[in-house]
Amino acid sequence: MRSCSDVHNYLEELGVAHEMLPLPGPPVTSERAADLLGVGVTEVLKSLLFLVDANPLLVLVPGDARVTGRRLAAALGARKASPARAQEVFETTGYRAGALPPCGLAVDLPVVADPGAFAPRVVYCGGGATATMLKIRSADLKSLLKPRLVDLAER
């Protein structure tokens, strides 16, 4: 199983400035994470694993948004898209659902992001452990991931 150390080491090796922020407990929701961090919910990014036509895809959206399989499939011209189950998240990425970071995964995955994910100057993402968040400049994260930008967010 991968951990927040793997995320930190990955970013260190690439020379990407970041902070790993321990929380007093698992935040469970983006709203709770924002409260614990003292930031707005749009500064918290959700890293979600979807299966799109049976292929894993990492999806990033702002914390105040949600993504449906139907909208994702339509945006990508796919037949079917559905959120991965917790076991699929773990088997594919090496991280537990609820701790999924946007980088440092066990395998390289294609990334799709809502453009609003990179609107804040600094973003807070899953840090690889349920009570750890990654703080990183959004421009650095965008440059690192090179995501396909697609209007996905539903509010």
CATH of the domain at 59: 3.90.960.10
Residue 155 lies in a domain: no
pTM of the model: 0.96
**Residue at 90 is within a domain:** yes
Integer Cα distance of 115 and 133 in angstroms: 21
Structural domain span for residue 11: 4-149
**154 is a domain residue:** no
The answer to whether residue 79 sits within a structural domain is yes
pLDDT, tens digit (0-9, with 9 covering 90-100), for 105-125: 999 999 999 999 999 999 999
Rounded Cα–Cα distance for residues 2 and 124 (Å) = 19
For the chain, the domain total comes to 1
What are the distances in angstroms from CA 115 to CA 42, 119, 120, 139?
Answer: 12, 7, 11, 12
86 part of a folded domain = yes
Nearest residue to 130 via CA among 98, 86, 90, 91: 98
Q: What is the mean pLDDT of residues 53-68?
A: 97
Higher pLDDT, 153 or 76: 76
